[in-house]
Amino acid sequence: MKKICIDPGHGGAQPGAVYGGQQEKDATLQIGRKLARNLREIGYEVVMTRDNDATVSLRKRCDISNAANADAFISIHLNAAVNRTAHGAETWKWTKSKSPLAQNVQTELVAAIGAKDRGVKSTTTFYVLKHTRAAALVIECGFMSHNKERAKLFDDDYQEKIAAGIAKGILKAIPV
């Protein structure tokens, strides 16, 4: 059985982006739980780096994924920018990754939520991408700093669409 590690970004003492009285850590946990449910229904085994409002170090997040021998590590985040008009979804991968996971997830996420496609981006600086053995992604589902997009990101139905899109992308790249 394929195993997916879901990492709801931030948590506990680390709120992530905060706008309009809303904290990134709350939406990432809600989306992560919905994604976990969707993936279990498809037939994946799911491991969560956190399932409550806990502070979890970046090292611990990687250790959880590596100990589980996960096939994919999916870190859920919300973006923010000084330019309050910035919006859309983007997916980050490790520069040397050859996995189709990032592109499949980005394509299906954008299709599911109708957001601006900010594309797949590569980096060598994100700790969780560098230190997990699984195919790893950091998914920025939208912008906290964009008022209209933020309202959607905290909406239950929109979160369900995000989770469904990510799950569909995972399924295309890593069949059960």
Q: Is 24 a catalytic residue?
A: no
Q: Which of 176, 137, 172 is nearest to 32 (CA)?
A: 137
Question: What are the helix and strand counts (H, E) for the chain?
Answer: 6, 8
**CB environment 57-74: b (16+ within 10 A), e (fewer):** eeeebbebbeebebbbbb
CA distance 140 to 108: 14
- Give the chain's end-to-end CA distance (angstroms, integer): 7
Active-site residue, from 24, 140, 149, 160: 140
> What would the DSSP string read from start to end of 118-146?
EEEEEES--HHHHH-SSEEEEEEEEETTS
Would you please indicate which residues are annotated as catalytic (active-site) residues? 140
